[in-house]
Protein backbone atom coordinates (compact mmCIF):
# COMPACT_ATOMS: atom_id res chain seq x y z
CA UNK A 1 0.00 0.00 0.00
CA UNK A 2 1.32 3.43 -0.90
CA UNK A 3 1.48 6.38 1.50
CA UNK A 4 -1.30 8.05 -0.52
CA UNK A 5 -3.41 4.91 -0.14
CA UNK A 6 -3.01 4.85 3.66
CA UNK A 7 -4.19 8.43 3.92
CA UNK A 8 -7.08 7.81 1.48
CA UNK A 9 -6.98 8.88 -2.16
CA UNK A 10 -8.07 12.19 -3.62
CA UNK A 11 -11.64 11.82 -4.95
CA UNK A 12 -11.83 10.78 -8.59
CA UNK A 13 -14.16 12.82 -10.83
CA UNK A 14 -16.77 10.88 -12.81
CA UNK A 15 -17.93 13.35 -15.49
CA UNK A 16 -21.19 13.08 -17.44
CA UNK A 17 -20.94 11.74 -20.99
CA UNK A 18 -22.92 13.51 -23.67
CA UNK A 19 -23.71 11.89 -27.04
CA UNK A 20 -23.57 14.84 -29.47
CA UNK A 21 -25.18 12.49 -32.00
CA UNK A 22 -26.10 8.82 -31.80
CA UNK A 23 -26.67 6.80 -34.96
CA UNK A 24 -27.88 3.21 -34.74
CA UNK A 25 -25.98 1.70 -37.67
CA UNK A 26 -26.96 -1.97 -37.31
CA UNK A 27 -27.77 -4.76 -34.93
CA UNK A 28 -25.74 -7.72 -33.69
CA UNK A 29 -27.06 -11.26 -33.61
CA UNK A 30 -27.33 -11.03 -29.80
CA UNK A 31 -29.69 -8.05 -30.09
CA UNK A 32 -27.19 -5.34 -29.09
CA UNK A 33 -27.22 -2.31 -31.37
CA UNK A 34 -24.23 -1.12 -33.36
CA UNK A 35 -23.69 2.58 -32.82
CA UNK A 36 -21.80 5.54 -34.18
CA UNK A 37 -21.59 8.39 -31.66
CA UNK A 38 -19.50 11.44 -30.87
CA UNK A 39 -19.09 11.43 -27.11
CA UNK A 40 -17.90 14.41 -25.09
CA UNK A 41 -17.66 14.93 -21.34
CA UNK A 42 -19.26 17.79 -19.44
CA UNK A 43 -18.02 19.57 -16.32
CA UNK A 44 -21.02 18.08 -14.44
CA UNK A 45 -19.71 15.11 -12.45
CA UNK A 46 -20.12 12.59 -9.66
CA UNK A 47 -17.06 11.72 -7.61
CA UNK A 48 -15.73 8.53 -6.07
CA UNK A 49 -13.55 8.55 -2.93
CA UNK A 50 -11.49 5.77 -1.34
CA UNK A 51 -9.98 5.11 2.08
CA UNK A 52 -8.23 1.89 3.10
CA UNK A 53 -10.33 -0.58 5.12
CA UNK A 54 -10.29 -4.37 5.43
CA UNK A 55 -13.76 -4.93 3.98
CA UNK A 56 -15.19 -3.43 0.80
CA UNK A 57 -18.06 -0.98 1.45
CA UNK A 58 -19.82 1.87 -0.31
CA UNK A 59 -21.53 4.90 1.19
CA UNK A 60 -23.71 7.24 -0.83
CA UNK A 61 -23.71 11.02 -0.56
CA UNK A 62 -24.69 13.97 -2.76
CA UNK A 63 -28.04 15.32 -3.98
CA UNK A 64 -28.88 12.27 -6.15
CA UNK A 65 -27.53 9.63 -3.74
CA UNK A 66 -30.95 8.74 -2.31
CA UNK A 67 -32.08 7.50 -5.75
CA UNK A 68 -29.52 4.68 -5.44
CA UNK A 69 -30.23 3.69 -1.82
CA UNK A 70 -32.23 0.63 -2.92
CA UNK A 71 -29.77 -0.36 -5.68
CA UNK A 72 -28.50 -3.84 -4.74
CA UNK A 73 -25.68 -3.90 -7.25
CA UNK A 74 -24.06 -0.48 -7.50
CA UNK A 75 -21.75 -0.22 -10.51
CA UNK A 76 -18.99 1.13 -8.26
CA UNK A 77 -18.97 -2.11 -6.25
CA UNK A 78 -19.23 -4.22 -9.41
CA UNK A 79 -16.21 -2.39 -10.83
CA UNK A 80 -14.25 -2.87 -7.59
CA UNK A 81 -14.99 -6.60 -7.44
CA UNK A 82 -14.14 -7.10 -11.11
CA UNK A 83 -10.79 -5.30 -10.82
CA UNK A 84 -9.91 -7.21 -7.64
CA UNK A 85 -10.74 -10.55 -9.29
CA UNK A 86 -8.62 -9.72 -12.35
CA UNK A 87 -5.71 -8.56 -10.18
CA UNK A 88 -5.96 -11.57 -7.86
CA UNK A 89 -6.53 -9.33 -4.82
CA UNK A 90 -9.24 -9.31 -2.15
CA UNK A 91 -11.61 -6.35 -2.74
CA UNK A 92 -11.01 -3.90 0.13
CA UNK A 93 -11.62 -0.28 1.05
CA UNK A 94 -14.25 2.21 2.05
CA UNK A 95 -15.64 3.81 -1.10
CA UNK A 96 -17.81 6.91 -1.11
CA UNK A 97 -19.91 7.90 -4.10
CA UNK A 98 -20.97 11.53 -4.25
CA UNK A 99 -23.92 11.32 -6.63
CA UNK A 100 -24.74 14.57 -8.44
CA UNK A 101 -25.88 13.22 -11.85
CA UNK A 102 -29.46 11.92 -12.14
CA UNK A 103 -29.79 8.13 -12.27
CA UNK A 104 -30.92 6.36 -15.49
CA UNK A 105 -30.75 9.60 -17.43
CA UNK A 106 -28.71 9.11 -20.62
CA UNK A 107 -25.54 10.84 -19.43
CA UNK A 108 -23.86 7.65 -18.28
CA UNK A 109 -23.59 8.53 -14.60
CA UNK A 110 -23.38 4.90 -13.49
CA UNK A 111 -20.86 4.18 -16.25
CA UNK A 112 -18.74 7.18 -15.25
CA UNK A 113 -18.82 6.03 -11.61
CA UNK A 114 -17.70 2.53 -12.58
CA UNK A 115 -14.86 3.89 -14.73
CA UNK A 116 -13.78 6.29 -11.95
CA UNK A 117 -13.70 3.36 -9.50
CA UNK A 118 -11.51 1.36 -11.92
CA UNK A 119 -9.05 4.28 -12.26
CA UNK A 120 -9.00 5.03 -8.54
CA UNK A 121 -8.53 1.45 -7.36
CA UNK A 122 -6.04 0.62 -10.11
CA UNK A 123 -3.80 3.15 -8.32
CA UNK A 124 -4.91 2.71 -4.69
CA UNK A 125 -4.44 -1.07 -4.82
CA UNK A 126 -1.19 -0.72 -6.81
CA UNK A 127 -2.62 -2.88 -9.60
CA UNK A 128 -1.01 -0.89 -12.41
CA UNK A 129 -3.13 -2.14 -15.33
CA UNK A 130 -2.57 -0.13 -18.55
CA UNK A 131 -5.52 1.97 -19.84
CA UNK A 132 -6.26 -0.57 -22.62
CA UNK A 133 -6.64 -3.35 -20.06
CA UNK A 134 -8.94 -1.18 -17.93
CA UNK A 135 -11.04 -0.46 -21.05
CA UNK A 136 -11.39 -4.17 -21.77
CA UNK A 137 -12.53 -4.75 -18.18
CA UNK A 138 -14.87 -1.75 -18.47
CA UNK A 139 -16.66 -3.32 -21.45
CA UNK A 140 -17.78 -6.15 -19.15
CA UNK A 141 -19.58 -3.61 -16.92
CA UNK A 142 -21.62 -1.84 -19.61
CA UNK A 143 -21.49 -0.45 -23.14
CA UNK A 144 -20.79 3.10 -21.97
CA UNK A 145 -18.06 2.24 -19.45
CA UNK A 146 -15.05 1.94 -21.88
CA UNK A 147 -15.39 5.52 -23.15
CA UNK A 148 -15.62 6.73 -19.54
CA UNK A 149 -12.22 5.17 -18.64
CA UNK A 150 -10.33 8.04 -20.33
CA UNK A 151 -13.28 10.45 -19.90
CA UNK A 152 -12.01 12.29 -22.98
CA UNK A 153 -13.96 13.11 -26.14
CA UNK A 154 -14.05 10.12 -28.49
CA UNK A 155 -15.88 8.64 -31.41
CA UNK A 156 -17.64 5.52 -30.14
CA UNK A 157 -18.57 2.61 -32.41
CA UNK A 158 -19.37 -1.09 -32.22
CA UNK A 159 -21.61 -1.52 -29.19
CA UNK A 160 -19.45 1.02 -27.34
CA UNK A 161 -16.09 -0.75 -27.23
CA UNK A 162 -14.54 0.67 -30.43
CA UNK A 163 -13.08 4.05 -29.60
CA UNK A 164 -11.20 6.41 -31.90
CA UNK A 165 -10.11 10.04 -31.91
CA UNK A 166 -12.84 12.67 -31.89
CA UNK A 167 -12.56 15.69 -34.19
CA UNK A 168 -10.69 18.60 -32.55
CA UNK A 169 -13.30 20.36 -30.45
CA UNK A 170 -13.73 24.12 -30.11
CA UNK A 171 -14.38 25.98 -26.85
CA UNK A 172 -18.11 25.74 -26.25
CA UNK A 173 -20.81 25.76 -23.59
CA UNK A 174 -23.21 22.99 -22.69
CA UNK A 175 -26.56 22.95 -20.92
CA UNK A 176 -27.89 19.64 -19.61
CA UNK A 177 -31.55 19.32 -18.60
CA UNK A 178 -33.52 16.36 -17.30
CA UNK A 179 -37.23 16.37 -16.43
CA UNK A 180 -36.53 14.21 -13.36
CA UNK A 181 -38.09 11.12 -14.88
CA UNK A 182 -35.82 8.06 -15.04
CA UNK A 183 -35.68 6.35 -18.44
CA UNK A 184 -33.99 2.92 -18.38
CA UNK A 185 -31.78 2.25 -21.41
CA UNK A 186 -33.12 -1.26 -22.27
CA UNK A 187 -36.71 0.05 -22.55
CA UNK A 188 -35.68 2.76 -25.01
CA UNK A 189 -33.72 0.40 -27.28
CA UNK A 190 -36.70 -1.97 -27.20
CA UNK A 191 -39.16 0.77 -28.19
CA UNK A 192 -37.02 1.96 -31.12
CA UNK A 193 -38.64 1.61 -34.56
CA UNK A 194 -37.21 2.30 -38.00
CA UNK A 195 -34.12 1.32 -39.92
CA UNK A 196 -30.48 2.17 -39.56
CA UNK A 197 -28.58 5.43 -40.08
CA UNK A 198 -25.20 5.51 -41.84
CA UNK A 199 -22.02 6.41 -40.00
CA UNK A 200 -21.59 10.19 -39.85
CA UNK A 201 -19.03 12.02 -41.98
CA UNK A 202 -17.04 14.30 -39.69
CA UNK A 203 -14.28 16.85 -40.36
CA UNK A 204 -10.86 16.74 -38.63
CA UNK A 205 -11.91 19.46 -36.28
CA UNK A 206 -13.97 22.58 -35.63
CA UNK A 207 -12.67 26.06 -34.85
CA UNK A 208 -15.83 27.37 -33.24
CA UNK A 209 -19.01 26.09 -31.64
CA UNK A 210 -21.31 27.48 -34.36
CA UNK A 211 -19.52 25.50 -37.10
CA UNK A 212 -19.62 22.37 -34.97
CA UNK A 213 -23.37 22.84 -34.34
CA UNK A 214 -23.99 23.37 -38.07
CA UNK A 215 -22.23 20.08 -38.95
CA UNK A 216 -23.87 18.14 -36.12
CA UNK A 217 -27.32 19.40 -37.15
CA UNK A 218 -27.34 16.89 -40.04
CA UNK A 219 -26.77 14.06 -37.57
CA UNK A 220 -29.42 12.73 -35.18
CA UNK A 221 -30.11 10.75 -32.06
CA UNK A 222 -31.83 7.60 -33.31
CA UNK A 223 -33.26 6.92 -29.83
CA UNK A 224 -35.03 10.28 -29.52
CA UNK A 225 -38.41 9.25 -30.97
CA UNK A 226 -38.56 6.11 -28.83
CA UNK A 227 -37.64 8.09 -25.72
CA UNK A 228 -40.32 10.71 -26.45
CA UNK A 229 -42.86 7.90 -26.89
CA UNK A 230 -42.01 6.57 -23.43
CA UNK A 231 -41.48 9.97 -21.80
CA UNK A 232 -43.24 12.82 -23.66
CA UNK A 233 -41.57 15.38 -21.34
CA UNK A 234 -38.39 14.91 -23.41
CA UNK A 235 -40.09 16.93 -26.19
CA UNK A 236 -40.82 19.73 -23.71
CA UNK A 237 -37.20 19.75 -22.55
CA UNK A 238 -35.99 20.00 -26.17
CA UNK A 239 -38.41 22.87 -26.88
CA UNK A 240 -37.25 24.75 -23.76
CA UNK A 241 -33.59 24.30 -24.68
CA UNK A 242 -34.17 25.48 -28.27
CA UNK A 243 -35.85 28.64 -26.92
CA UNK A 244 -32.82 29.64 -24.80
CA UNK A 245 -30.92 32.70 -26.11
CA UNK A 246 -27.74 31.62 -27.89
CA UNK A 247 -28.73 27.93 -28.25
CA UNK A 248 -26.90 26.56 -31.31
CA UNK A 249 -28.26 22.99 -31.23
CA UNK A 250 -30.40 20.92 -28.86
CA UNK A 251 -30.70 17.15 -28.87
CA UNK A 252 -31.23 14.22 -26.52
CA UNK A 253 -28.16 12.44 -25.07
CA UNK A 254 -27.89 8.63 -25.08
CA UNK A 255 -31.18 6.95 -24.30
CA UNK A 256 -32.50 10.06 -22.49
CA UNK A 257 -34.24 11.64 -20.83
CA UNK A 258 -31.42 14.19 -20.44
CA UNK A 259 -31.10 16.60 -23.36
CA UNK A 260 -28.23 18.95 -24.09
CA UNK A 261 -27.87 22.31 -25.78
CA UNK A 262 -24.69 23.73 -27.31
CA UNK A 263 -23.64 27.34 -26.79
CA UNK A 264 -20.71 29.48 -27.91
CA UNK A 265 -19.24 29.54 -24.39
CA UNK A 266 -19.69 28.29 -20.84
CA UNK A 267 -20.94 31.64 -19.49
CA UNK A 268 -23.90 31.66 -21.92
CA UNK A 269 -24.63 28.05 -21.02
CA UNK A 270 -24.64 28.79 -17.27
CA UNK A 271 -27.05 31.68 -17.88
CA UNK A 272 -29.29 29.45 -20.02
CA UNK A 273 -29.45 26.69 -17.41
CA UNK A 274 -30.68 29.24 -14.86
CA UNK A 275 -33.65 30.06 -17.12
CA UNK A 276 -35.00 26.49 -17.20
CA UNK A 277 -37.80 25.26 -14.87
CA UNK A 278 -36.58 24.70 -11.31
CA UNK A 279 -38.40 21.35 -11.16
CA UNK A 280 -35.91 19.96 -13.69
CA UNK A 281 -32.34 18.86 -13.03
CA UNK A 282 -30.29 21.39 -14.99
CA UNK A 283 -26.63 22.20 -15.37
CA UNK A 284 -24.70 24.75 -17.44
CA UNK A 285 -20.95 25.07 -18.04
CA UNK A 286 -18.17 23.86 -20.31
CA UNK A 287 -16.59 20.62 -21.38
CA UNK A 288 -14.84 18.52 -18.72
CA UNK A 289 -11.28 19.76 -18.26
CA UNK A 290 -11.87 23.07 -20.10
CA UNK A 291 -10.32 26.07 -18.31
CA UNK A 292 -13.72 27.36 -17.07
Ligand X SMILES: C[C@](O)(CO)[C@H](O)COP(=O)(O)OP(=O)(O)OC[C@H]1O[C@@H](n2ccc(N)nc2=O)[C@H](O)[C@@H]1O
- CA-wise closest residue to 78 among 113, 54, 130: 113
75 binds, among ligand X, ligand ATP, none (CB under 5 to 8 A by kind): ligand ATP
User: How many other β-carbons are positioned within 10 Å of the β-carbon of residue 136?
Assistant: 15
Instruction: Determine whether the annotation assigns residue 65 to a binding site.
Output: no
Residues forming contacts to ligand X in the complex (CB under 6 A) are 19, 22, 32-33, 35, 37, 108, 111, 142-144, 159-160, 185-186, 189, 254-255
Gap between the terminal Cα atoms of the chain: 35
Number of residues in contact with ligand ATP, rule: CB under 6 A?
Answer: 21
Residue number with CB closer to ligand ATP (140 or 168): 140
Dist. CA 276–CA 237, nearest whole Å = 9
Determine how β-strand 173-178 pairs with β-strand 281-286: antiparallel
Q: Is 47 annotated as a binding residue?
A: no
**What letter does residue 219 receive in the DSSP assignment?**
-
Please say which residue, 114 or 124, places its beta carbon nearer to ligand X: 114
Between β-strands 173-178 and 162-165, what pairing exists: parallel, antiparallel or unpaired?
A: unpaired
Query: Distance between CA atoms of 150 and 131, rounded to whole angstroms?
Result: 8
State yes or no: is 144 an active-site residue.
Answer: yes
Residue 151's binding partner among ligand X, ligand ATP, none (Cβ under 5 to 8 angstroms by kind) is none
The annotation status of 285 as a binding-site residue, yes or no, is no
What is the footprint of ligand ATP within residues 28-67 (CB under 6 A)? Answer: none
Strand (E) or helix (H) holding 260: strand 259-263
111 is in an annotated binding site: yes
Q: At what angle do helices 109-124 and 75-87 cross, to 10 degrees?
A: 40
190 classed as catalytic? no
Separation between Cα atoms, residue 216 and residue 247, nearest integer Å: 13
CB of 148 to ligand ATP, least distance (A): 10
Nearest distance from C-beta of residue 142 to ligand X, angstroms:
3
List the single partner that 103 binds among ligand X, ligand ATP, none, CB under 5 to 8 Å by kind.
ligand ATP
Give residues in contact with ligand ATP (CB under 6 A).
68, 71, 74-76, 97, 103-111, 113, 144, 184-185, 254-255
Question: Residues forming the annotated binding site for ATP?
Answer: 102-112
| Residues labelled catalytic | 17, 144
Amino acid sequence: MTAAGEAGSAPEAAPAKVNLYLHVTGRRADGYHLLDSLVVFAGAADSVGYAPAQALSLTLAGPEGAALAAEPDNLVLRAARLLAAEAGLPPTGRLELEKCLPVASGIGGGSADAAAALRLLNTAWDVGFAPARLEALAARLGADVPVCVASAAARMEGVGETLSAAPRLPACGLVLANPRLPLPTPAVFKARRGGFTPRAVLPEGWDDAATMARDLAVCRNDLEDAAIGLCPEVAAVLAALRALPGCLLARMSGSGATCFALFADAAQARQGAGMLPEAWWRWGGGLYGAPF
